[in-house]
Amino acid sequence: MYAQMIKSEATEDDPEKLAAFQARIDAGEKIEPKDWMPEGYRKTLIRQIGQHAHSEIVGQLPEGNWITRAPTLERKANLLAKVQDEAGHGLYLYCAAETLGVSRDDLTEQLLSGRMKYSSIFNYPTLTWADMGAVGWLVDGAAIMNQVPLQRTSYGPYARAMVRICKEESFHQRQGFHIMMAMVNGTPEQKRMAQDALNRFWYPALMMFGPSDKDSVHSAQSMKWRIKMNTNDELRQKFVDETAPQAAYLGLTIPDEALTLNEDTGHYDFTQPDWSEFHDVLADNGPCNVERMSARQKAWDDGAWVRDAMVAHAEKKRARKVAAE
């Protein structure tokens, strides 16, 4: 998902306080910034929300790549609006993380130094216009699977950010599907491009949910705290079940010969992605890791004088106003 492999932090708190905290969560109450919370809950959330925010911000890069080359003015306007939304989503999430006592600059520096990660999916290149379709349809589609249940997460600011994000996100998936529809109904070459994009993005999209965590203690703790609502396998299955008929509608073939509807379970059987590739991408060895991070570093460095100038200007104006009074 946008937040992958989040380890829950150990917690060493007063057992009585912990029990009262758990009781509030079990009763469906929201935890708010000033409420008492276990140190582990706070730290796990900072890591999870931070990683989610970083994913939104880095996620602008593969799509930003195509804004100047969109095939029509309308497609360009759609894509621009979508990328602007991703920036907005990153900002909502950074603010939610900041309520837990971490600063914005600190989060950025942790991303740039590699101490915090972003989703593995954004380390894949977007080679053709059809990739804009595949990213919207599959990548945003996979993200929605996780984000919809997170609207009910126990941490108030995170839940509220998720509500805003979900409201905006379904446009993203649809604009991607719309691109795919245009491609499959175009020339044979365009249909081939659509199939090629699906071939390249299918398994990376499945990896977004992370490896199976049905036996993970970290996931169990996060689910108890209601900061993780479903297991990775549940969400992946839901994604495959929804996406397979959509691919059929497009007349495209999912690159998995084992993919079949299992009459007994009512779910699709499918092949797991190559998890060694996933771990390799997380270890900074994906096709675009270096490029993504250098783009973020450059934006941060090149923007430094603007950030400083804004503060200097604001201070000068404030001083003038005080002098005039």
Partner 1 sequence: MSKEWPLWEVFIRGAHGMSHRHVGSLHAANAEHAIRNARDVYTRRNEGVSIWVVEAAHIAASNPSEKGPLYDPARDKVYRHPTFYDVPDDAGNM
Q: Which of residues 37-96 bind partner 1 (CB under 8 A)?
A: 81, 84-85, 88, 91-92, 95
- Angle, in degrees to the nearest 10, between helices 289-324 and 104-112: 160
Q: Pick the binder of partner 1 from 69, 103, 152, 185 (CB under 8 A).
A: 103
| Paired residues of 261 in beta bridges | 268
Using CA atoms, how far apart are residues 315 and 325, in angstroms rounded to an integer? 16
Using CA atoms, how far apart are residues 171 and 62, in angstroms rounded to an integer? 18
Contact code string over 124-163 relative to partner 1, x by CB under 8 A: ------------------------------------xx--
Nearest Cα to 17, choosing from 4, 3, 31?
31
Contact code string over 178-217 relative to partner 1, x by CB under 8 A: ----------------------------------------
The minimum distance between CB 315 and partner 1, in angstroms, equals 9
| 50 touches 97 (CB < 8 A) | yes
The minimum distance between CB 295 and partner 1, in angstroms, equals 21
Q: Pick the binder of partner 1 from 304, 322, 323, 324 (CB under 8 A).
A: 304
CB nearer to partner 1: pick between 290 and 314: 314
Q: Cα angle at 307 between 302 and 309, to 5 degrees? A: 105
User: What residue has token string 């997460």?
Assistant: 153
Using CA atoms, how far apart are residues 42 and 3, in angstroms rounded to an integer? 16
CB nearer to partner 1: pick between 9 and 168: 168
- Angle, in degrees to the nearest 10, between helices 217-224 and 39-58: 100
User: What residue has token string 């081939």?
Assistant: 192
The minimum distance between CB 78 and partner 1, in angstroms, equals 13
CB nearer to partner 1: pick between 84 and 285: 84
DSSP state of 31: B
Contact code string over 16-35 relative to partner 1, x by CB under 8 A: ----------------x-xx
Interface residues toward partner 1, by CB under 8 A: 32, 34-36, 81, 84-85, 88, 91-92, 95, 98, 103-105, 160-161, 164, 168, 304, 307-308, 310-314, 317-318
